[in-house]
Structure formats: C-alpha cells, structure tokens
Amino acid sequence: MISAVDQGTYGSRSSHPNEIFWAIFDATLLTLIFMLSSDMLVQLRFVQSPMWLLCYAAMILRIATVWSAFFQMLLRNWFVLLFPAICLASILWSVNKAATLTSGLQLTMTMIMAMYLGWRYTLSVLIKVLIVVFSIGVWLSILHWATGIFPWPVYTRTGGLAGLFSSKGMLGIRALFAVTAIVALLMMQRHEVGPTLRTFAMIALLGNIFALAVSLSMTSVLLTPVLVMALLILCWHRVPSTIFSAGLLTVIAAIALGPVIFVIAGINPIEAVLDAIGKSTSLTGRVYIWQVAVDVYREHPILGVGYQAFWQSPQFLNEQLLTQDAGAVTSRSFHNFPLEILVSAGWAALLAMLVLLWVTVARLFALLRSTQSPAVAGAITLILGCVLSSLTGTTLYRAHEIMIILVVAFAVSAGEDLYRIRRQAEKDATGQ
C-alpha cells in the first residue's frame, strides 16, 4: 500500500546490498513512531516505555549508519534544536531537576527522531502513513464503540467516545487530521497515489467522519470545516470544479443542518462552542486552568520553573489540585501550549517554538509555490490544525507527541526538498 522507499530522500543513495533491509527498517520505525505518538496504544501502558526505548535504540543505530550525511542535515536545520536545547538548559533553574532532565532528554530524542523521518521521507509519504495509522486507530475505536471488544470503558466520563485513545479529544483530533490528510491525498495525481491506497482512503474517510461525530469532541468538529476549506483554498487550482462545488455544498449543508443534528444529539450548540474555547462553566474549565498557569507564570516570569517540572514538583501540589478540579484529569496540562511553555521554560523557549513554527510554515509555502503539490498544502493545513488544537489542547510542547513530530518532520522534509531544488537549479545554471 505504501512504498517503503521514497525517491529523492536523503542525499544520493548508492546500490548497497542492504538497501532493502534499511528501507524496511525505516518504514517500520516510521509506522511505530506514528502509532506510539498518536496515543492509540495509550491503554497498553505496560508497553509504552519499552517501545519508546526500542525506538530510541533503533534510531541511534540507524543514524550511526549515515552519520556524516545526517550531521550535514542537522546543520541545515539547526533551528529545530533550539527548543529542546533551552528546555534541557532549564535544568539549571528547575524546581525538579530530575523531572526536567528526564523530560528534556525525551524531548530531544523525539525531535531527533522527527528530524530523521523528515530527512528520510517526503511530505507525500509522511501524509500517507499518517492516514493509514490514524485510520486504523479510528476504525478500531469504532469497533470498540460497536462491540465493547476492548477491556476498558467505551465512553469517557463526559460522554464522548475515546476508543483506543486517552480521551474523546484525542480521538477527535486524530480523526480530524485523518480527514484533512485524506482530502489532500484525493487531490493528488493518479501516478502519486495507487488505486489501492485511494480506495482505502475513501473508505477511511467515512469512518473518520463518523468518529468525529461519536467522539463529541466539539473542538475537532468545529475545526473540521476550517481545515478542509483552508486546504481547498491552498489547492484551488488542483481542485476540479465539481469537487470544489461538492465540498462547498457540503459545508453549507453542514451549517444548515447543524442545529438539527445538535438537537437530535442533545447538544446545546452555544454551550458546546463555549466549552471548546474554554469559557464554559462545565467540567472542561480551561479558563480556570489557564488562570492557574498565569498565577505560576507571574511568580517565575522570565525563565519558568523548569521544563515539565511544575507537574512533578510537590512545591506546586495545591496548584496541581486546582487544575484537576477544573478538569485537567486525563492529562496534566494547562491545555494551552504557549502558557505551558512559559511556565516550563520561559520566554526563550516560547520564542524558540515560534521560530520553529514560523520557519516550518515559510518553508512549506515556498515549496508550495515551487511544486503546487496537494501534499504540501496538506502539510500546511495540518500545521494549522496542530497550532489551533493546541491552543486548547495538551500537545505541541511535550515529548512523544505526534504534533511536535509532525511539525519537525514537515519542517525538515520541506527544507530538504527546497535544498535539492536549489542544488538542481545551480547545476542547470552552470550547465552541469
């Protein structure tokens, strides 16, 4: 379904007797990292840590085989390492140095693995693997909804389906990302996507849309038309008029039928919107969680308390209990990545994250202008989804999270494509 070897990957590739072995090795590692970071194996807690350690060991081994070329790639993408470097440096002033050291090393390894994946694979391959992995997780979640086959609760305490994931929000965001990636894939040329994968994607699209509905994750539901329309706008020239018209009509129909669907589902749309943005008086309680973060930030306004130290320090036990009372139960987080970074490692870390996001988007837009590729447009849209969902969510700053992996992998992959384009242009200009 997915080719393990993507043409135009890192540097020049010679015919080596072990080339097929390493291609399978890389494809397996990519799939495993996406599965672990997507949260779909979270219920199997006993395997999480050993599997990540296995990924670490496999990645170190792999990098050792291509160290010279990998190091050159690191130099071209040095800005990616600013964020983990500052987080690690925060051990100097951390209130829990052990927690900061452990979390900082995990973050660094996560970023390095993501850099390798972006170096190794094009955006098209990364998006295809994302579709397959996320869709499998979503379909298994639907199976759990239909049969209760797995030995954990079907629904969350707030009523939505979590499936394989830790919360309804996690399921909703994964389904949202899968829908966005599938729309991008369906706009690719026939030579880019084989009939088997295209058929899989169309079937998976139905499952992911259904999962969005049964998850009752209003953040994901509200973001779906935003991301799909953004993708269609970026791919305007690639979208046949019939497809664009159908997409537009679908959005209009969704808006028109939305109130009816909400009434049938027993959802108050006003309360749902407020809940999604954290201004509800329900269990979500993000406004109250954010207030705790602001109070801690004011006590440590420049450097923060140390990367991930807040959540593992007895010094802030009272504040931790306040966040739990406000709804931060399934994930210890402030549910807002800028606030989380400010509390953890201060303004320098936040600036480093903003630089990473800025360069990533700038590279993707530059590549889009050169290639007009739906895969690039899909990557831009997924980055938008990462940022928007992380304004009220729990990711984009932690180790072992799919969103930070996608941002870094997309940044490096786009950068390597632009690098190859520039080198080819220079060769053409010199007549070589």
> What pLDDT score does 121 carry?
95
Assigned domain for 2 exists: no
Task: Answer with the residue of higher pLDDT: 135 or 393.
Answer: 135
Report yes or no on 4 lying in a domain: no
DSSP-based three-state secondary structure for 161: strand
Measured between alpha carbons, how far is 103 from 84 in angstroms, rounded to an integer? 10
Residues 143 and 40: beta-carbon distance below 8 Å:
no
CB-based burial, 236-267: b 16+ in 10 Å, e otherwise = eebbeeeeeeebeeebeeeeeeeeeebeeeeb
In a domain, 289, yes or no: yes
Tell me whether residue 8 is in a domain: no
Cβ neighbours of residue 237 closer than 8 Å, sequence gap 6 or more? 372
Confidence of residue 146 (pLDDT cuts 50, 70, 90): confident
Among residues 22, 25, 47, the alpha carbon closest in space to that of 36 is found at: 47
Sorting pLDDT into bands at 50, 70 and 90, what band is 254?
Answer: low
Mean pLDDT, to the nearest integer, of 22-29?
A: 94
Give the residue carrying structure tokens 């070329």: 69
Asked if 397 and 384 touch (Cβ cutoff 8 Å), the reply is no
Q: Can you give the pLDDT at residue 1?
A: 38
For 366, half-sphere exposure in the C-beta direction (CA atoms, 13 angstrom radius) is 17
User: What total of structural domains would you count in the chain?
Assistant: 1
Q: Residue 224 is which amino acid?
A: T
pLDDT of the residue at 364: 94
Task: State pTM to two decimals.
Answer: 0.86
Range of the domain at 312: 19-425
Q: Is residue 37 part of a domain?
A: yes
Name which of 163, 158, 166, 149 is nearest 207 in CA terms: 163
Report yes or no on 397 lying in a domain: yes
pLDDT digits over 330-370, tens only?
567 787 888 889 999 999 999 999 999 999 999 999 999 88
At 245, the pLDDT band (50, 70, 90 cuts) reads: low
What span, in angstroms and rounded, lies between the C-alpha atoms of 91 and 99? 9
Torsion of CA 333, 334, 335, 337, to 10 degrees: -100
Whether the pLDDT of residue 260 is over 50: the answer is no
Q: Does residue 29 sit within a domain?
A: yes
Burial class of residue 86 in the structure, from the number of CB atoms within 10 Å of its CB (0-12 exposed, 13-18 middle, 19+ buried): buried
Residue 431 lies in a domain: no
User: Alpha-carbon distance 343 to 332, whole Å?
Assistant: 13
Identity of residue 213: A
